[in-house]
Chain A
């Protein structure tokens, strides 16, 4: 029996609040998620612009240092600055609280790029469209220049079913996707038990992407050494 890889989490409208947890301690740094996302969403990887990106950080100081891979993506904030500043109504909040960009409405003023405190947005230029044609022929996802960002792969499956490409591809199980409204979902458990936390909470953007950090990075963050 063939399994639809998209359908793990139902369809686009089956949840009011999709969430995402990144287990930093389980990220191997293989970057498969970046490749999967780039193919799925035809992001301009030739310009090093990504919807999701794995940061390769060294935390602490030698010899008490460690390498840390931190996957980044749009935080799908519940209080998204990018949405409020968009003058043309191109940035919209759709089913499940996902922030998307209507590329035909976007005028490319970059106000949202300025407003996003997580640096999750970039501009998809006319030249990027031309370049994408070299890779994908005429089967292009992006037809006009616009500001682009992660949408949790919203609407990529033709039948409306849903699993982000990066989650499907992650070999270490570092990326967890699910419905935050469902108390039994893995993301809800991780968030409700306090294991998963948001980045930059002081900005009050209320991200729906959470992070679970490992013990060493916690100790580093706490100000102690890692010995």
Chain B
């Protein structure tokens, strides 16, 4: 098994890395400074395309997995037997970190000059939400890595021999977990605010989007754990049988039941927020065209089938069945639908605010105290008049998306191979490697 897993890991890291190398036009230094032609197709009328969608998709899943896992860890710190994820918490934390990696890759690939991102830290502008994203990603990364080290440290502590620095980390474990949760929630809210305040003139969107993204982190994070946990259960079944543990099956069922329950609640919350989103959009005359786009316009099939049906209604049904039957099969199926629905939700949250240049319109506006003011429609810099701006996926975006996702498949299993993620595995090398 280990040999096959090594081959899998190396193959996917090489394939993913190779595709990304191609995405850099085989010249990483030039790519980092924007001196490659391949980035050119990124000038579609909707500036933020698939890579922005991709980084939100993976970024929010990663933080969601960690937040959800860490909340159970934190609030059951002194009663580990009450934590249904106690045996898989380390694996979940690694999953969170691994899933963040393609998100981070796509963040860098989505900008024209990745090397200049260093200026976020060198000349930080506190009014910029993307600048805060840069800071929060680092803080979240530190939090998750510290949490992984602390959880591995716990295993060493059980054996009694633990070096000073690791002991300190283990001793302040609760603090680290709390910090990680806080940083992750802030990152999700801030990411939502980037999109909420794109449309500065629609005030309600600003506060709404952070709420949506925080809830979505649970929605997508629970789905990711619900995807991986049954998968592990199936793949590791022979080992479980040979150990002859009668209680293992029951414990697994508890995990599936808890995941189904929490997934169901998160999905219902997303359903409510979608309704709220529509209400906000449709009841504001300025944003009505956006609502129309979703309800009966060109994005309606994606909205109704992709989000409402696949992302909300079907998962509610499947999660309910999974909860009732305590079934990993139904849970696994639910998670696939939720992950698809989450991708659609991200796509809509990214594209729809950019989709209409509604603010370019010839019409008089007469606020109090003003004699004459004008709005003007425009085809300034290629923006079409009164038309829906097209959304297109460039080959550059596709290359980077595919490369980073394939890279994830290798990176995740690399952690499985190197780190003592499972309950029975112990660290033996350099304190944290098995």
A182 contacts chain B at the CB level, 8 A cutoff:
no
> Would B376 and A199 count as touching, CB distance under 8 A?
yes
Residues on the A chain within 8 Å of B134, using CB: 87
Interface size on A, residues (CB 8 A): 58
Indicate if B242 sits at the interface (CB-CB under 8 A): no
Which residue of the partner chain, among B48, B119, B124, contacts A114 with CB atoms under 8 Å? B48
Contact-residue size bin, chain B (C-beta under 8 Å from the other chain) = 35 or more
Q: When A72-B380, A113-B47 are in contact, do A199 and B117 touch as well, CB less than 8 Å?
A: no
Also in contact, A81 and B200, with CB within 8 A (given A89-B124, A117-B359, A125-B43): yes
> From residue 107 to 156 of chain B, which have CB atoms closer than 8 A to chain A?
110-117, 119-120, 122-125, 127-131, 133-134
Contact of A201 among B37, B131, B365, B377 (CB under 8 A): B365
Report the minimum CB–CB distance from A150 to chain B (whole Å). 11
Alpha-carbon distance between A221 and B134 when the two chains are bound, in angstroms: 45
Beta-carbon contact of A88 and B120 below 8 Å: yes
In the complex, what residue of chain A is closest to B36 when comparing beta carbons?
A126
Kindly supply a per-residue 1/0 record for chain A positions 98-128, scoring 1 wherever the CB is within 8 Å of any chain B CB and 0 otherwise: 0000001111111101110111111101110
- Whether A55 and B131, one on each chain, are in contact in the complex, defined by CB atoms closer than 8 angstroms, is no
Chain A contacts for B123, CB-based, 8 A: 88-89, 105
Residues of A within 8 A of B133 (CB): 87
Cα A118 to Cα B381 in complex, Å, equals 10
Task: For residue A63, give the distance in angstroms from its CB to the closest CB of chain B.
Answer: 18
B128/A111 in contact, CB under 8 A: yes
B380 contacts A223, CB within 8 Å? no
* Option from B111, B200, B370, B371 in Cβ contact (under 8 Å) with A107: B111
Q: Which residues of B contact A107 (CB under 8 A)?
A: 111-117, 119-120
Q: A57-B362, A194-B371, A202-B201 are in contact. Are A144 and B129 (CB under 8 A)?
A: no
Contact call B36/A202, Cβ cutoff below 8 A? no
B39 beta carbon closer than 8 Å to chain A: yes
Complex interface residues of chain B between 20 and 57 (CB less than 8 A to chain A): 33-37, 39-40, 42-43, 47-48
B128 touches A87 (CB 8 A): yes
Q: Are A114 and B374 interface neighbours, CB within 8 A?
A: no
As a 0/1 sequence over residues 126 to 150 of chain A, the CB contacts with chain B under 8 angstroms (1 = contact) are 1100100000000000001110000
Whole-angstrom CA separation of A113 from B48 in the bound complex: 10
Quick one: given A85-B128, A85-B130, are A104 and B120 in contact (CB under 8 Å)?
A: no
**A53 CB within 8 Å of chain B:** yes
Q: Does B295 contact A (CB under 8 A)?
A: no
Within 8 A of B (CB), among A58-104: 59, 70, 72, 81, 83-90, 104
Is B160 an interface residue, CB under 8 A from the partner?
no
Q: Are A110 and B373 in contact (CB under 8 A)?
A: no
| A50 contact set on B, CB distance < 8 A | 380-381
A119 B383 Cβ-Cβ under 8 A: yes
- Which of B40, B120, B359, B362 touches A59 (beta carbons < 8 Å)? B362
Contact B374 A199 (CB under 8 A): yes
User: Closest residue to A49 on the B side, CB-wise?
Assistant: B381
- Answer yes or no: A197 CB below 8 A from chain B CBs: yes
Is the Cβ of B374 less than 8 Å from the Cβ of A144? Answer: no
Check B113 against A145 for contact (C-beta < 8 Å).
yes
Instruction: Assess whether B198 is in contact with A115, with CB atoms less than 8 Å apart.
Output: yes
Q: Could you say which of A86, A88, A122, A197 has the most chain B C-beta atoms within 10 Å of its C-beta? A: A88
Query: Does B34 lie within 8 Å of A108, measured CB to CB?
Result: yes
What separation, in Å, do the CA atoms of A12 and B39 have in the docked complex? 35
Q: How far is the CB of A118 from chain B (nearest CB, A)?
A: 7
Question: What per-residue 1/0 map shows which CB atoms of B294-318 lie under 8 Å from chain A?
Answer: 0000000000000000000000000
Q: How far is the CB of B30 from chain A (nearest CB, A)?
A: 9
Q: Kindly provide the distance from the CB of B210 to the nearest chain A CB, expressed in whole angstroms.
A: 16
Question: Does A184 lie at the interface of the complex (its beta carbon under 8 Å from any beta carbon of B)?
Answer: no
Q: B124 to chain A: which residues have CB within 8 Å?
A: 89
- In chain B, what residue has the closest Cβ to A53? B380
Please tell me if the beta carbons of A86 and B125 are within 8 angstroms of each other in the complex: yes
A199 in contact with B47 (CB, 8 Å): no
Answer whether residue B378 sits at the interface, using C-beta atoms and an 8 A cutoff. Answer: yes
**A122 neighbours in B (Cβ, 8 Å):** 43, 381-382
A72 cross-chain contacts in B, Cβ below 8 A:
376, 378, 380
| B327 beta carbon closer than 8 Å to chain A | no
Q: Does A2 contact B (CB under 8 A)?
A: no
Give chain A nearest CB distance to B384 CB in angstroms.
11
Given known contacts A110-B47, A111-B194, what 10 new A-B pairs fall within 8 Å (CB)?
A50-B380, A70-B376, A72-B376, A87-B131, A88-B119, A88-B120, A114-B48, A120-B380, A122-B382, A201-B373
* 9 smallest beta-carbon distances between A and B, as pairs: A108-B112, A89-B123, A88-B119, A107-B116, A87-B131, A145-B34, A87-B130, A84-B127, A87-B128
A interface list, Cβ under 8 A from B: 47-50, 53, 55, 57, 59, 70, 72, 81, 83-90, 104-111, 113-115, 117-123, 125-127, 130, 144-146, 194, 197-203, 211, 213, 218, 221-223
Q: Which residues of B contact A (CB under 8 A)?
A: 33-37, 39-40, 42-43, 47-48, 110-117, 119-120, 122-125, 127-131, 133-134, 194, 198, 200-201, 354, 357, 359-360, 362-365, 367, 370-383
